[in-house]
Structure 1
Amino acid sequence: MKVSVIIPTLNCEKTIENLLKRLKNQTQKADEVIVVDSESNDNTAEIAEEEGAKVIKIKRRDFDHGGTRNFAVENSTGDAIIFLTQDALPYDEYFIENIVGPLKNSDVAAVYGRQIANEDAIPTEKFARLFNYPEKGFIKSKENIKELRIKAFFFSNVCSAIRRKEFEQAGKFPDNTIMNEDMIIASKLILNGYKIAYSPNAIVIHYHNYSPIKQFKRNFDIGVFFSENSWILKYGKAEGEGIKFLKDEIEFLWNNDKKWIIYAIIDNIFRYSGYQCGLKHKFIPLFIKKRISMNTNYWLIKERRF
């Protein structure tokens, strides 16, 4: 398969060179690397070009999680499309080989890889990576929905690969979504009878030491997403996963670093509060939503359109 790698960027001159060099040092080479830059104020675009990437520039005001990635795919040539974020660093030289490998199975339309934290991550963030990205791989299909419920649609564009044919047949990513464009495409593929693989050997270093305030904002956006895509919730409530997350997190911290338990409880209160506010965002004035959201651009686009 011909492989295209797509990376949306904004002001990431500190990481983009390392990321592109790691991509060039792979056992399986990408046929092209496409960087879609949203008017960076630093040298991101110039560094990407120096490292051999094809750079496409867009207006920052036009960036959209789904639409921008669709635009990049339209300007790519690969049979398999790898999606990466600008801060996801391939752990070793086998990343591309391991992320596209499962696509050789005609039933598997998409693959997502494992995210790990390094020693700079706080204990709660280390747990979050372990919770969502285990060491053992698996394949999800329509038959797993009853067992996995909403988790059946979990998928991450931090590091993923999708076969172009099935991506286009499924209607690509949704435009104008605040986040979780990856969950939407995963749900479409699974409901259409395809399988999604989790490849734990396709590893990237990726984590965020978010404060409770930032967790509130991120989970506000998650709540907005589910408010606007409520059909997904018929397969299971996100709150159920949240309760399991907190229970497992406390057990993890009890065994590894007890002093972080109080922080974890506070952190989860902020997560839950943000999520509930997001679910009820239609009752919140727009100027407030722009302040409490991680994705301010989403609300600016909405404001321009309406």
Structure 2
Amino acid sequence: MKISVLIPAYNCQDTIYNSIRSAIKQTYKNIEIIVVNDGSTDNTAVRLDQYVKHYNNQLRVVHAEHLGVSAARNRLLYEASGDYVFFLDADDFINPDTIESMVNVVNKTNAEVVVCGNDLQGVFGLKNSVHSQICPNRREVLKYLLKDRSVRNYAWGKLVKKELWKGIEFPVNMVFEDIATVHKVLIKSQKTVLIPSIHYHYNVSSTGSITYGLKPVIIQDMLKACAMQAENILEFDPTLRNEVKRMLLRNKLIATLSLLRNFQFHIEPIREIFKYQPSILTK
């Protein structure tokens, strides 16, 4: 079984080596590592070309114009030739046995998606994982996703059968593209297995990470992505209505707190956040 490790990269000269190195060091050897350089303006491109010379048989780099992370992810899926794909962000890293452990689960269970545990580097003790290996049905998987706990709203940390991505693309020119997309793969998956091992290490201190520093200009994209997720999940399973409502409320609170933290004390933008409601919930 061939695995494609996919890394979108933009202005990550200080972190990209650790990310690539963690993929190179995998104990599972039937892998390809592909990096799409999304038109970086720092030394990322130069360093990637150096790494290709050093890891010639293990690493492939595609240089593209800057179109955003969604376009980079879509290009990575196009370039991937593996049976399964695994997204790895350019400022994160994985354990040496990550791919081998997840492939073993696929071989034993015929899973189409395997989700590993993760921790947040820079946030002491904050981990997200299940207590033991489980194989929930799709409704339960989506409930985990809506809570954004054991199944996170990110492309990373999931070994996904390549076929599941057919017909699915990340929305270009949109922030929080993961929220708008990952649930579609989970809806299609006939068998998703969650494992407790903490394999993925997410770097929250990176200057490229927006998750913990929302700004007013991107809040609308966040709410739009949440609405897209709500629409698709409720079309698949209308009984998840209460879970969807809680997800939307949680993200409205996150957006409001981010406005306040960025010293945006105007009441009207906050009112607009709480007036926001996906159309499927107003029918």
Same fold (TM over 0.5): yes
**Offset of residue 230 of structure 1:** 4.1
Query: Does the 8 Å CA contact 2:255/2:273 hold for their aligned counterparts?
Result: no
Q: Cα–Cα, structure 1 residues 19 and 74, in superposed 2: closer, same or farther, change >3 Å?
A: same
Contact 1:70 1:173 in 2 (8 A): yes
Residues 36, 56 of structure 1: 8 Å contact kept: yes
Q: Which runs of 5+ in 1 are unaligned?
A: 246-265, 283-306
Pair 1:80 & 2:84 matched: yes
Is 1:16 matched up with 2:19? Answer: no
Matched, 1:54 2:60: yes
| Percent identity between the two aligned chains | 18
> TM-score with structure 1 length normalisation?
0.65
Determine the structure 2 residue equivalent to 1:260: none
Structure 1 residue 3 corresponds to structure 2 residue 8: no
What CA distance in whole angstroms lies between the structure 1 residues aligned with 2:203 and 2:130?
15
Match of 2:156 in 1: 158
Contact 2:11 2:41 in 1 (8 A): yes
Letter in 1 for 2:49: E
1:221: which partner in 2?
Answer: 221
CA pair 116-154 structure 1, distance change in 2 beyond 3 A: closer
Name the amino acid aligned to 1:55: V
The CA deviation at 1:270 is 0.9
Q: Which amino acid aligns with 1:115?
A: N
State the 1:157 CA deviation.
1.6
Contact 1:11-1:44 at 8 Å conserved across structures: yes
Deviations 1:44-84 (CA, angstroms, capped at 9, x unpaired): 22323333321111111x2242x432221221211111111
* Secondary structure in structure 2 of the residue aligned to 1:34: strand
Amino acid at match of 1:159: G
Q: How many Å apart are 1:225 and its aligned residue?
A: 0.9
Distance of aligned partners of 1:271 and 1:64 in 2 relative to their CA distance in 1, 3 Å threshold = same
Does 2:113 match 1:114? no
Q: How does 1:199-214 map to 2 (within 5 A)?
A: 199-201=195-197, 203-209=199-205, 214=213
State how 1:75-224 maps to structure 2 within 5 Å: 75-90=79-94, 92-104=95-107, 107-118=110-121, 121=122, 125-126=123-124, 129-130=126-127, 132-144=128-140, 150-151=146-147, 154-168=152-166, 171-176=167-172, 178-183=174-179, 185-192=181-188, 194-201=190-197, 203-209=199-205, 214-217=213-216, 220-224=220-224
CA 1:145–1:42 in structure 2 vs 1: closer, same or farther (change >3 Å)? closer
Unmatched segments (≥5 aa) in structure 2: 235-239, 261-268, 278-283
CA distance in 2, matches of 1:143, 1:212: 26
TM-score, reference length from structure 2: 0.70
Letter of the 1:80 counterpart: Y
What per-residue deviation string (whole Å, max 9, x for no partner) do you get for residues 99-136 of structure 1?
Answer: 33333356522223222134xx2xxx447x43x43454
Query: RMSD between aligned alpha carbons?
Result: 3.9
Over 3 Å counting, the alpha-carbon distance change for 1:181 and 1:106 in structure 2 is: farther
